[in-house]
Amino acid sequence: MAITIVAGQEAKITLTMLADGAPIPIALDAQVRVQLRSADGTSALFDPVLVTSDAPGANWAKGIVAVTINADMTATLPQPAVLLAIAGPGFIKRFQLNVESSTAPTRSALFIKDFAIDELRGDRLALMAQTFFPSVRLTDDFLWEKLLTAEAQIAGDAGLRVPLVPTRFFPDTPTDTEISALNGLPWAIDPGYEYEPDFFRADRFAFIVTRQKPIVDVLRVRFVYPTGVESSYEFPRPWIQFDRKYGHIRIVPTSATINAPIGAYALQALGAGRAIPFAIKVDYIAGLEDARKTYPQLVDVIKRMAVLKVIEDGFVAASGSISADGLSQSMSVDMQRYRDTIEMVLNGPKGSNGGLMAAIHGIRMMSMS
């Protein structure tokens, strides 16, 4: 379970120590220490400190430990998350703390947490919660986790396979200076493309298909030869033409002269028809621009997916007593219909080759007879 704290504000947290799902009683004279560590747990952010059994909210007999993190400490915590470790006699428990800024909102690619959770709870979950799990309290952090998971699934290989916001793709690991210059723009690595013998021949002259699309902008295209970075050639920017939707890049020379430091190995490869892996390196930006406005159904389908994940987490497998009154069967049917609705938004009706997938990527296959 993740706990949210605000940077620069005092945080008072009560946590229950559990073993096998049951509280761990703690002796009143025991020494219990608390430490803040990096999100992966590998480095300490502060020295461990003792906590007391008489702190407000603590009940060591029931395994409840109260921790106070002062404002000076929370102000220096790295965002978006840190790890809180509590160690006592015979146990050590770790908890994730989500660190939020009081000024910049916590957000994903498409959603601001504050707004999205209220919308999800009020518009999508109110009726379903009353029907399927009326006595269960769904925390904001739990709903946000499901929304993030749904967003990642829709964007990933199991969904649309597209960055939901413009994302900068580097062919190599960027420097700290390059990352700072992005001003918060997401980034990822897209390694170089293979130079093939027919790269400058036939009807595919200087043709590159990027792994990510739609393209927002192509910043540069380079040949990098195996002799090192100094043996490279960067195509002039006016030569770079591209099709945004399909991620097609073509090099169209606008002058007759090419000046490039070509080594002997490169000349042999270009002349003898050899392929060179990772020789073509492309720096570009790809992803959906203003997805909320262009594809409003995308936002809707992510929320639907999040609701489905909430219900699935609360769904108990059918037993004799539950299935006897038909509740289990009817719930399964409703969930399948919900999945079918999501699938239709993503891919259109069965056999239609449509939906968001076609709108973003174009028609993927056609049959002619």
Looking at the chain, list the stretches that DSSP marks H as alpha helix, in order from N- to C-terminal side: 71-75, 113-119, 126-132, 140-155, 176-181, 264-272, 291-294, 296-314, 320-324, 327-347, 355-361
What is the pLDDT, as a whole number, of residue 323?
A: 46
Mean pLDDT by 10 residues, the chain (369 residues): 85 92 93 94 92 94 94 90 93 91 84 89 71 70 90 90 95 92 92 80 75 95 69 83 92 66 50 72 94 91 89 55 48 69 85 82 63
Q: Which of 149, 169, 112 is nearest to 287 (CA)?
A: 169
The answer to pTM > 0.95 is no
What is the pLDDT, as a whole number, of residue 69?
A: 93
Taking a C-beta distance cutoff of 8 angstroms, is the pair 286, 163 a contact? yes
What is the pLDDT, as a whole number, of residue 63?
A: 94
What is the pLDDT, as a whole number, of residue 102?
A: 79
- The class (CATH top level) of 2-100 is mainly beta
Grouping H, G, I as helix, E, B as strand and the rest as coil, residue 309 is helix
What is the pLDDT, as a whole number, of residue 316?
A: 42
What is the pLDDT, as a whole number, of residue 264?
A: 45
What is the pLDDT, as a whole number, of residue 265?
A: 46
What is the pLDDT, as a whole number, of residue 68?
A: 94
- Domain boundaries along the sequence of the chain: 2-100, 113-157+292-361, 167-286
The number of angstroms, rounded, from the C-alpha of 315 to the middle of its chain's C-alpha atoms is 26
